[in-house]
Structure 1
């Protein structure tokens, strides 16, 4: 029997979805972008919101339309390709980038502001302690933090709301000058900076989790599941949009609070100190630390569970140990280095995720979906790789003839053309698919 959710349950589902996306790492990118964009803040913010909020929203809606997350959306691809995509996503949001970033954000906002002379040794000792605690909690698959996480996210959100109101009512600084990076194409630069949230990748996984929650609540009708997932996605998008806009304005009014900054954590810590004094900084440090621990435990547990199920080798606990150790090692490169290293990877991989979402939306109009999906994603990957290699600093001028190559989006037009070709494939190709 299919159950209907009450308004309270729907709101709870929406806030749960919002909590999935709201990691402490996400709050460090808008302030820095706002600080560097200067008078081009609105344009840069619009581009960032498109990738930081818009893409995760349309990805969850695509998951709802397809009836599931990555496995369902990518069902027309070879199983091995789907496995490679899922593995790449778990590596990106796991030990490669997102999970080590939680420890680094906790360090930057929870300890570094109180140190007179922070050193590499300090960072190393902190990451050992942080991921040691994550390891202990993850061995029980994070059950210890389930209740804590449900409390921490509302507290973190209330803190951000209070900070946002304070920024509007009593800004502490003035607008910084425009950085050279944001002079020519602030919208595109903001768009690319939105990749750093990694939320489009996460949405491919979260779609499955939310549908599982709906099934547990007795919602079995696929149309009802899709409707509730879309509403939850919209609530999460509104919440993320509010957080990002307020943090952009914080960064855009922080000259004088900080004269320069390497990352957004420095800007937020300095702004909170200016607004609320040392007590505010202590509260921020405590909340961010606990939020980072919660996020890290969830990510380490999810990655360990995935690789345990994928390989069938080693135990879940062994994979937890491996993931936690890798995260600790990666975190020692520092926040600035981790972000700079992640950029080329995200620039190369994001087009594939966007192409998958695009193909999912136009699927009803495809006459040969197997060919179309594979062709569209292959083209997106090939040209996304060109952008990624360019972002890594390699000489790629041979591709200068590609539209938008100079702004790191050479993949856009070829992917659109590939989509048109995929839609135009005739029925004969579909017959060949059936025979295969």
Structure 2
């Protein structure tokens, strides 16, 4: 049995944390805290289920199946190809990677630009430096654990801890009553907010990165890879939970101090400015940039690794550079258009990703059932695609009316009931088919 040193395991865990922790992860928790007010603890509990537990499960199940394509292959080979490409493109160069540069700039740098400054010029310069660093880091995936685990993650955690401790001693605090959505359903609302982080899809990318990283550390046996993947996931999930708790606490404690805005970036800016004054803008910019840089590097690495296996004639290096360059162009020339297309695509594939993760982890209980993966994935995909088309304002008439009868459909969660029903149907059909088979095989008297 291979024994990985505790220091190395901690570095891998740090890397996994940083791969998950991007700009959205900074924005959602303080926004949740400000909206939930006194109900923050209950809302945070729901948030942690979908923003921490589910992504960690995703990393583990992808490592278990040795890749998203093999997990999706439980449905069918063609589905695996289409679904995997959609996942990697939509959360990669089509959305996640360009956004990793645009969000920190727009949230933490643009508000502090001098009056009359050229937004596009500063955005160009910022994103150029950002992607040059990200591309350089992604070119050597075998060094990620050292560069991210030893340098970037500790720096990010130090800055976040500094902000939290400073808030405890110098922050202006006053807690407001919860907003309507949190008054009677804080747990459910928090659960849905965590769903919006999209980290379960990111987990389908990063699971293979962690497994590959462990193998570079001489963890070769499948059972050892799984064992250390689970341990790294638990440690990374614990760190994520602590950071989310800190950010949500600051949002709750300042919920009656600052005016409620559209996202948590405003709350963070107000807190940082109140504690550190104008120099606080630098702290906020560094925090946002570090958080997004590590996520961006992880996405470039995982997507390049996948397409290198899909396109063996194209080297990993060329793919990493090409994805970085394309993401740079998208970031500066039409991110809003890409977002308007990619977000509905994510709405369509995200629920399918969730059911694949859950069924993948429950594999031993579903062994022998050849229907459960394809039937459940197909049923959930239909509901998700209809919901995504509605988000694109595509008129569906009576079809739309029918789907709105599903529980929680308006929240984007109508697929849950359908998934449960599909699993039950598959189990019943499989049992009936087995009974028929047994009768036909009985010897005649």
TM range (shorter): 0.7 to 0.9
CA contact (8 A) 1:391 1:408 kept: no
Give 3-state SS (helix, strand or coil) of 2:279's partner. helix
Higher mean displacement: 232-241 or 20-29: 20-29
Residue aligning to 1:282: 282
Distance change >3 Å, CA 292–CA 357, structure 1 → 2: closer
Deviations 1:42-88 (Å, cap 9, x if unpaired)? 33322221110111122223334x34231332232222211222222
Question: Do the aligned partners of 2:205 and 2:302 also contact (CA within 8 Å) in 1?
Answer: no
Aligned to 2:66: 68
C-alpha contact 1:47 1:190 (8 A) present in aligned 2: yes
Residue 175 of structure 1: SS of its match in structure 2?
A: coil
Provide the residue aligned with 1:142 in structure 2: 138
Counterpart of 1:223? 223
Give the deviation of 1:261 after TM superposition.
2.0
Please give the alpha-carbon distance, in whole angstroms, between the structure 1 residues aligned to 2:116 and 2:156. 26
Is contact 1:67-1:226 (8 Å) kept?
no
CA contact (8 A) 2:61 2:207 kept: no
The aligned residue for residue 412 of structure 1 is 416
Question: 1-side partners of 2:136 and 2:165: how far apart?
Answer: 39
Write the mapping of 1:166-205 to structure 2, written as runs, cut at 5 A: 166-183=166-183, 185-205=185-205
Deviation at 1:34, TM superposition (A): 1.8
8 Å contact kept, 1:106–1:285: yes
Task: Give, in whole Å, the separation in 1 of the partners of 2:223 and 2:18.
Answer: 24
Shift of 1:305: 5.5
1:304: Cα distance to partner? 5.0
Match of 1:84 in 2: 82
Partner of 1:12: 11
Deviation of 1:409 (Å): 1.6
Which residue pairs with 2:443 in the alignment? none
Residue aligning to 1:48: 47
Query: Which residue does the alignment assign to 2:106?
Result: 108
Deviating beyond 6 angstroms after TM superposition, the runs of 4 or more aligned structure 1 residues are 429-432
> Which consecutive residues of structure 1, in runs of 5 or more, have no partner in the other structure?
none
Query: Contact 1:31–1:267 at 8 Å: present in 2 too?
Result: yes
Shift of 1:391: 5.2
Q: Which residue of 2 aligns with 1:25?
A: 24
1:326 to 323, 330, 353: 330
Given the alignment, which residue of 114, 126, 129 partners 1:130?
Answer: 126
Equivalent position SS for 1:111: helix
1:234 and 2:211 equivalent? no
Aligned to 1:358: 358
> 5+ residue gaps in structure 2?
438-445
Distance 2:341 2:171 in 1: 33
| Secondary structure of 2:405 counterpart | coil
Q: Distance in 1 between matches of 2:152 and 2:137?
A: 18
Measured at CA, do residues 255 and 112 of structure 1 come closer, stay the same or move farther in structure 2, by a change above 3 Å? farther
Structure 1 window deviating more from structure 2 (343-352 vs 212-221): it is 343-352
Aligned-partner Cα distance in 2 for 1:36–1:356: 32
Q: Report the counterpart of residue 247 of structure 1 in structure 2.
A: 247
CA–CA distance in structure 2, aligned partners of residues 235 and 370 of structure 1: 35
Aligned residue-pair number: 424
**Which residue of structure 1 lines up, in the alignment, with residue 94 of structure 2?**
96
Aligned-partner Cα distance in 1 for 2:198–2:156: 20
- Following superposition, the deviation at residue 356 of structure 1 comes to 0.3
Name which of structure 1's ranges 197-206 and 173-182 shifts more when overlaid on structure 2.
173-182
d(CA) in 1 for partners of 2:323 and 2:163? Answer: 38
Calculate the TM-score normalised by the size of structure 1.
Answer: 0.85
